[in-house]
Chain A
Amino acid sequence: MININIKKTLHGVNGPMNLDIDLSIKQGEFIALTGPSGSGKTTLLRVLAGLEVAEGEIEVNKSFWLKNNKSIKAKKRSIGFMHQENALFPNMSILQNLLFVINDLELALRLLSLAGLTELQDRYPKTLSGGQKQRVSLCRAMMRKPDILLLDEPLSALDAKMRTQLQSKILALHKEFNTTTIMVSHEPSEIYKLSTRTIILENGHIIKDGKTQEVLLKSQGSQKFSFEGELLELKEVDVIIIAIVAIGQQIVEIVVSKKEALDLQVGQTVIVGTKAFAPTILCPSR
């Protein structure tokens, strides 16, 4: 059981902000932490890890990591932490990176094999791809068999294919070691796949906390599609106007009337929606 009750004043882009979190987490939960940038997600993670100070209490499995302004140092907390990127030690091989934490060869080899890295164990970080580096980083975070695994947007610097691969590794390790995991993420699909509970933070406060499916579906869908995109161009063709909109990686054309076009401006962020009753799913043919 983990109890967190912390307060901290942050200096964000929009002036000072109060981080005020009161949270209980059960052993073995996989929590996704999401919300707009600057809402305090990363700070919460760093306070938990002992990298930043805060007021309040943090209690993990009946021992206090933070109480009455007494804080246990980062190195003494049972934490596995995975940075967004660039956290491997370049002077050590992959295996040495793991053994630096704890000299347990058996565990290191088991983790590397679970992550599919066995063949790369003698290579140096510089020669690895971004996805491989993050897998090493994940293995290293597990070396202490931590009470809490903290993932700070671990996949945001990777492409879609790498991301899917790594998601399954994270889930596998989470289950294998029965650890409690907190992951900061912006990707609804990632949150849906991995987490059991989702917490949405805004301006330093928890605004939603519940089962992932409930939180995501309530806030994201009401039986209709809508996508946010950027309006790239308005083309006049005869009597109609075609709006070119970039949605993620796709460029789509949407017919709008002249009257509708009056309200639109190129460069604007727009929402493209449809009220289809029975959407169809197509498999992309190759």
Chain B
Amino acid sequence: MFEPFYISFKLASITVLILFLISLPLSWYLSQTQSKIKPFIEALTALPIVLPPSVLGFYILVALSQNSPLGTFFKDTFDISLVFNFTSLVIASCFYSLPFMVQPLQSGFESLNKNMLEASYLCGKSKLQTILFVALPNIKPALITAIIITFAHTVGEFGVVLMVGGSIPGETKVASVAIYEMVEIMDYKGAHIYSAIMLGMSFIVLLSVYTFNAKHKRKFGL
């Protein structure tokens, strides 16, 4: 009965992992650069916040479908279809949730004291070492925020998954889509249970983020 939740969580976990690896270098670059193309990259990354999910879903569908160059390539080479399966959900979620990972990390990195980062280079450390051992440990609240919010946001997505994944039980039918379908067939009891779980979980997630951040601030004064 709770399979849609399982799919939602699996999707969110994989998305967080992939997005973290992509966003780490991207947000670091954005936080340190003074290049003229910075606003363009920032605007591009923020697009999923303002675009209707259907627009995003439509473009992803067009880009990945079997008639597109990308879709044809994957079909011919690996015999993988990029739409209406779990892989397509992951790809779509990565676009959809990108700003929720990049923005907290970027503002976290920007808040770091420049002297401290320079000191790390002057201690003979490379950029990567500085990011891993100095920058990241000192932006823990931003890091936790980025990961948790990205996770929660992916669990909560609806429009994009519906368009790109359809609603195939056990494959692409996530919790939010399941609720929608329950309402359609007037299964209000099921919808109530699912919605209450989603509501409760979302609240607990946000509560723990804010509690952690407050504690961390008291402890390290960052």
Contact = CB atoms under 8 A, between A and B. Distances in A.
A87 B116 contact: yes
B133 interface: yes
Nearest to B220: A90
Interface string A66-92: 000000011110011101111111110
B122 interface: yes
A286 to B, nearest CB: 37
Given A75-B124, A144-B124, A83 B220 contact: no
Interface in B9-41: none
Contact of A83 (B118, B121, B126, B221): B118
B137 A91 contact: yes
A89 B116 contact: yes
A91 B141 CA distance: 13
B134 interface: yes
A107 B222 CA distance: 30
DSSP majority for the B interface?
A: helix
A89 B125 CA distance: 13
B77 interface: no
A172 interface: no
A210 B118 CA distance: 31
Contact of A51 (B118, B123, B137, B138): B118
Interface in A79-127: 79-81, 83-91, 100-102, 124, 126
Contacts of A137: 119
A88 B220 CA distance: 13
Contact of A86 (B116, B125, B220): B116
B122 A74 contact: yes
B211 interface: no
Contacts of A79: 122
Nearest to B130: A75
Most buried by A among B115, B120, B134: B115
A88 B122 contact: no
A90 B134 CA distance: 9
Given A87-B113, A89-B138, A100-B133, A126 B123 contact: no
B115 A144 contact: no
A209 B150 CA distance: 59
28 contacts: A49-B122, A73-B121, A74-B118, A74-B121, A75-B122, A75-B126, A80-B122, A81-B118, A81-B122, A84-B115, A86-B115, A87-B115, A88-B116, A88-B119, A89-B116, A89-B120, A89-B134, A90-B116, A90-B138, A90-B221, A90-B222, A91-B134, A91-B137, A91-B138, A100-B125, A100-B133, A126-B220, A126-B221
Nearest to B138: A91
A141 B137 CA distance: 21
